[in-house]
Amino acid sequence: MQKYILVTGGTKGIGRAVIEQFAKEGYHIITCSRNEKDLQKLKLEIEQAYTFSKVFYRETDLSDRKSLKLFLGYVRELNVRVDVLVNNSGLFIPGKITEEDEEALPYMIQTNLYSAYFLTKGLVPDMIKRRSGHIFTLCSTASITPYINGGSYCISKFALYGMTKVLREELKEHNVRVTAILPGATLTASWDGVDLPPERFIKPEDVAMAMFNAYALSENSVVEELLIRPQLGDL
């Protein structure tokens, strides 16, 4: 039976690396982002490089509930079994709690937490029904370590980590696996313009490979969390 992975924010960074990793293994891809052209490019490149993998996408702003509901509707209309869900979409706006714009927290909660919460709620009933599935959620070292100038980003990621922990407890009896991914500084567009050598960062491909290896374990085991940092430590 053909398997499907759904990755939010799949056109860049860790999301793109995860799609590459699973496409390499023959999985069909379902994804979304805010940019239609980036999605078209992704589909073309993945389907050319991995001829057994098909890419299904919809332009979506997951911080907007209406847009998220439309994406969920699109996924349901595909009438396929989502074997793996990767809650990857996220946003980082630097700032101190005492100084940042008052809209920073609501916006990052909507983008980083609510998107994963509502998408998971929309897809998990089917996983429970068939007693299989794996949910990966991209948290961060900011989920467990407070950073100066991390403000509302840290708050949203702490909450996301908490959600993942609760899901793990709720879903274990249904044979649905839940894994929190906590990467440190990863070489993605978020770090564009920073004057640091590439070797100071985690490679997105390393995060993707670690996720696939966690997924590939037998059903007897689950990796509850993956904490990955640059070899030389946090930035």
Distance between CA atoms of 14 and 99, rounded to whole angstroms? 30
Distance between CA atoms of 156 and 105, rounded to whole angstroms? 8
Per the annotation, the verdict on 153 as an active-site residue is yes
Quick one: DSSP state of residue 11? Answer: T
Distance between CA atoms of 29 and 9, rounded to whole angstroms? 12
Distance between CA atoms of 63 and 108, rounded to whole angstroms? 8
Query: What torsion, rounded to 10 degrees, do the Cα atoms 45, 48, 49, 52 define?
Result: 120
Sign of CA dihedral 135, 93, 57, 75: positive
Active-site residue, from 117, 153, 161, 215:
153
Strand stretches in the chain, DSSP E: 4-8, 28-33, 55-59, 82-87, 134-138, 177-183, 225-228
- Return the closest-CA partner of residue 18 out of 226, 208, 202, 228: 208
Per the CB < 8 A criterion, the answer to whether 157 and 142 are in contact is yes
Point out the residues that are catalytic: 153
